[in-house]
Structure 1
Amino acid sequence: MRALTVRPGRPGSLGVEEVADPEPAAGELLVRGVALGLCGTDREIASGEYGRAAPDRGRLILGHESLGRVAEAPHGSGFNPGDLVAGVVRRPDPVPCGACAHGEFDMCRNGRYRERGIKELDGYGAELWCLETDYAVRVDAALGLAGVLMEPASVVAKAWEQIERVGARAWFEPRRALVTGAGPIGLLAALLGRQRGLDVHVLDRVTDGPKPDLVRALGATYHSDAAGDVLTAVRPDVVVEATGAAALVCEAIRGTAAYGIVCLTGVSPAGRRLTVDAGAVNRAIVLENDVVVGSVNANLRHFRQAADALARADREWLHRLLTRRVPLERAASAFERHADGIKTVITLEGGAR
Structure 2
Amino acid sequence: MRALTVRPMSSHSLEAREVAEPLPADGELLVEGLAIGVCGTDKEIVAGQYGWVPPGQERLILGHESLGRVCRAPSGSGFKAGDLVAGVVRRPDPEPCGACARGEFDMCRNGRYTERGIKERDGYGSQLWTVETDYAVGVDPRLEDVGVLVEPASVVAKAWEQVERVGGRSWFDPRRVLVTGAGPIGLLAALLGVRRGLEVHVMDRVTSGPKPGLVTDLGAEYHSEDVEQVTAAICPDVVIEATGAGSVVFGAMAGTAPYGVVCLTGVSSRGRTLTVDAGSVNRELVLENDAVIGSVNANTRHYREGADALAKADRTWLERMITRRVGLDHATEAFNAREDDIKVVISLG
Where on the TM-score scale, by shorter chain, does this alignment land: which range?
over 0.9
Q: Match for residue 65 of structure 1?
A: 65
Instruction: Give the residue type in structure 2 aligned to 1:171.
Output: W
Q: Match for residue 281 of structure 2?
A: 281
Q: Match for residue 293 of structure 2?
A: 293
* 8 A Cα contact 1:91 1:115, kept in partner: yes
Q: Match for residue 202 of structure 2?
A: 202
Per-residue CA deviation, residues 262-318 of structure 1 (Å, 9 max, x unaligned), is 000001111111111111001110011000000000000100110111111111000
Q: How does 1:1-353 map to 2 (within 5 A)?
A: 1-349=1-349
* Consecutive unaligned residues in structure 1, runs of 5 or more: none
SS at match of 1:115: strand
Structure 1's consecutive aligned runs of 4 or more residues displaced over 6 angstroms after TM superposition are none
* Consecutive unaligned residues in structure 2, runs of 5 or more: none
SS at match of 1:118: coil
Alignment TM-score, normalising by the size of structure 1: 0.98
Q: How many residues align?
A: 349
SS at match of 2:200: strand
Q: CA RMSD in A?
A: 0.5
Separation in 2, partners of 1:121, 1:145: 26
Separation in 2, partners of 1:36, 1:242: 21
* 8 A Cα contact 1:153 1:188, kept in partner: yes
Separation in 1, partners of 2:130, 2:321: 27
Instruction: Give the residue type in structure 2 aligned to 1:293.
Output: I
Separation in 1, partners of 2:285, 2:346: 43
1:68: Cα distance to partner? 0.1
SS at match of 1:172: coil
SS at match of 2:69: strand
Instruction: Give the residue type in structure 2 aligned to 1:178.
Output: L
Separation in 1, partners of 2:135, 2:54: 19
Per-residue CA deviation, residues 95-153 of structure 1 (Å, 9 max, x unaligned), is 11110000000000000000000000000000000000000000001111200000000
Per-residue CA deviation, residues 26-56 of structure 1 (Å, 9 max, x unaligned), is 0000000011000010010011000000120
Separation in 1, partners of 2:23, 2:187: 37
1:227: Cα distance to partner? 1.2
State the percentage of identical aligned residues: 69
Separation in 1, partners of 2:322, 2:13: 26
1:339: Cα distance to partner? 1.5
SS at match of 1:297: coil
Instruction: Give the residue type in structure 1 aligned to 2:317.
Output: W
Separation in 2, partners of 1:67, 1:82: 12
Instruction: Give the residue type in structure 2 aligned to 1:16.
Output: A
